[in-house]
Structure 1
Amino acid sequence: MNNHKLKQKLDFRVESLISTQNIIIQKYNYVGWLNNFPSELKSLAYRLLYSFTYISEAMTDSMLINTIQNLSCDLHNPSSLSEWKDFINGVAFAPVRTNGLNFSDSGNLFVGKVKKLLQLDEECIIGNLDEIVNLICDGKKVILVDDFVGTGDQFDQFILMLKESNGSYKKSCLENLIYAPLLSTARGYKNITSMHTQVKFSPLHIISEDYSVLGENSIFWRGLTKEGRAEKITQIVEISKQLRVEDSLIFGYKDLGLGLSFQHGAPDATLPIFTHSAGNWVPLVGG
């Protein structure tokens, strides 16, 4: 596909995104970002932008509600408003803790969203690891809410911290723990479901390898030959090095290679070429 046709398709897609998702241009600066690229690299820029996924706040809220509704059908199958309320009153919500005693930023944000969207009482929100252990070991379901799972490494840390936080912890208690992010990579899904079999892992959507620039059937390189895909990958590496991105991070955390951002921020699995903001480089979205 030549640059002109790709740009036409890109313009249509961006206009559709703006009209349907009410994107704030300051959050999704596609014009400024495209201007980073000289003419000989415009083809790369158009391809990267055309397959980039942006999830607005309105879409995030809708996905979060759908996630909870899906869980209610799996766990309670409510057929009336009163039964829905019974489900909500029978569970608690918590963020995933990472890096010592800190909540993940997205986990904190999503607990607040759940409270607001579902109009929950304060007691439905769990504030510490010790309380999570007490509840799940007493048989109460605790739902962990988050936006994105990449490799599952953070969840490994969380389970270890949970184990060390309370002497009442038993592995069997994890049967009452539900991890419900909006999105998970296929790699993260495989890792969590194989390593933590007692936990119910229930992402709303699973992102296949096709959404990685490194995927064998990547959506970013449709229509290109193997040699053409290799050329685009090399161009990403060269630009990233010019931006002084660490070699290990050029394709995002552990080479997940995604083009993805929520309105509240991009996960570390997203290529820095989309989020880098140093010097004269204009980021597409905030990191």
Structure 2
Amino acid sequence: MIEQLHGWKYFSQTGIPLSVFRTQVGSRIAMHTHDFSELAVVLDGHGWHVTTDSKYRIAAGDVFVVQNNAAHAYEGCEQIDLYNVLFDTSKLNLPASDLYQLPAYHALFSLEPGIRNTARSSHHFLTLSRHDLAEISSILGRAADELLRRQPGYQGMAVSLFVQAAVSLSRCYACMEGRESGRLIRLGRVISYIEQNILDDLTLGQMAGVAGVSASTLNRSFNDALGMPPMEYVIEQRFKRAIVLLKDTDATITQVACQSGFADSNFFARQFRRRFGCSPREFRAGRYPLR
């Protein structure tokens, strides 16, 4: 039976949906899942990282992300020393207008973990140089210290250090050379384009043009990495935006629809009910949890 780890056990200690700590891996860690995402930065040692569909060797400098609900394990480890960063970006107050516009951020944190769980990929792509590894280790060490000491302002400082690490890693990823990593960065450009133009009438042709591929190739690549075609991903992001507006603002349903990228509020309401089993108004009133 695969064990599931829960974020509240970690985040209750830090007060925010972010936990950073340095740990040593024994010979193995059994297969498990968690309801948060995990960034791993290997500082020393070597071993094998295992997912449900792949197994690949890891060593000092390797960086990879495991998304929430993805099963993974470690095997054949010898003196592995790494930083674990546990986080939930849906609940962290990140500067989305900046970070989410980086194509390499999407490639590292969303796209690569997606294709790693398919037969199309059996490894990670980012290995840091000694200099970059030392820089990232320093940033994460400071973040871990902030979360441990909990001095006034520690939450904001820890989140800012997490963003600094994410940006630095994204820059390293963008500098890599390779066919597969290059393909993921092209897809990352599409996701960045969606983030910046979510309120516009996006088309498959526009997004294929941003990636520099055909519409059919873009559909296939999105399905491989994210489990859905581009247009469905756009709708998914619009619903996520709408849910935040419904929960955190007093905007009318028509305003929520408009501010989420839905041109017609009636269409928005119908699609919301079809997807979540309740109307936007019922969800806001707390009468129905999202299914």
TM above 0.5, yes or no, is no
- The TM-score range, normalised by the shorter chain, is under 0.3
Larger radius of gyration: 1
Looking at both structures, which has the greater relative contact order when contacts are Cα pairs under 8 Å and sequence separation is at least 6? 1
> Going by fraction, where is strand more abundant, 1 or 2?
2
